[in-house]
Chains A and B, each alone.
Chain A
Amino acid sequence: DAGITQSPRHKVTETGTPVTLRCHQTENHRYMYWYRQDPGHGLRLIHYSYGVKDTDKGEVSDGYSVSRSKTEDFLLTLESATSSQTSVYFCAITRDIVNEQFFGPGTRLTVL
């Protein structure tokens, strides 16, 4: 499991409320990613990080922000949640050199 945890694992919230999802890794990997998974769309990259305080946008970044103040933590924030952000969110890390990417257990988010 590459030492990746996500919290919370499930969350139900209301439209317009802020939400923060946390990804934590224990193996000191440089690269971390946030994906969302929706039926028919596979896995789509939201944001990624290549080091502390170094982040960039992915394919579907609108409505999301991220922060990485420590190597082990990568936070995804929905500033004002909308129903279209109901999804399963996966965090991932890449083992450098070999390029193998491993996923966390996921967070199921429902926005009512």
Chain B
Amino acid sequence: GENVEQHPSTLSVQEGDSAVIKCTYSDSASNYFPWYKQELGKRPQLIIDIRSNVGEKKDQRIAVTLNKTAKHFSLHITETQPEDSAVYFCAALSGSARQLTFGSGTQLTVLP
């Protein structure tokens, strides 16, 4: 089955700096890669996704890049703000029932 690895597990940045989280996946058939943000005590929320026919996607301060050859994808957050502090999860979709396999998460802390 699919295996997703995520790094780093914790990341601290100064407010206004950029943050980058990286994931690798194993199943070359995976074709959809979402990112979720989870605040303490809340459900994971989909923040951005990318499909295998696209190399980069942006939405305001967040962007995701995908390298299918190397089987890795990354989340980039620019001009970080304290409200960006949360746990971020990457995932890869495979299987006939649209199953997602998740990375183990990155705790992002934005220091004021």
Contact = CB atoms under 8 A, between A and B. Distances in A.
A and B assemble together: yes
Interface of A: 31, 33, 40-45, 48-50, 56, 58-59, 90, 94, 96, 99-106
Contact of A100 (B6, B34, B89): B34
A43 B87 CA distance: 12
Nearest to B1: A59
Secondary structure at chain A's binding surface: helix, strand, loop or mixed?
A: strand
Secondary structure at chain B's binding surface: helix, strand, loop or mixed?
A: strand
Nearest to A94: B98
Interface residues of B, number: 22
Given A99-B32, A104-B43, A106-B43, A42 B103 contact: yes
Contacts of A50: 96-97
B70 to A, nearest CB: 22
Interface of B: 1, 6, 32, 34, 43-46, 49, 89, 91, 93, 96-105
Nearest to B9: A40
A100 B46 contact: yes
A58 B99 contact: yes
Most chain A C-beta atoms within 10 Å of own C-beta, residue among B1, B100, B101: B100
A43 B97 CA distance: 17
A52 B51 CA distance: 28
Query: Shortest 5 CB-CB distances between A and B: which pairs?
Result: A103-B43, A50-B97, A42-B104, A43-B102, A94-B98
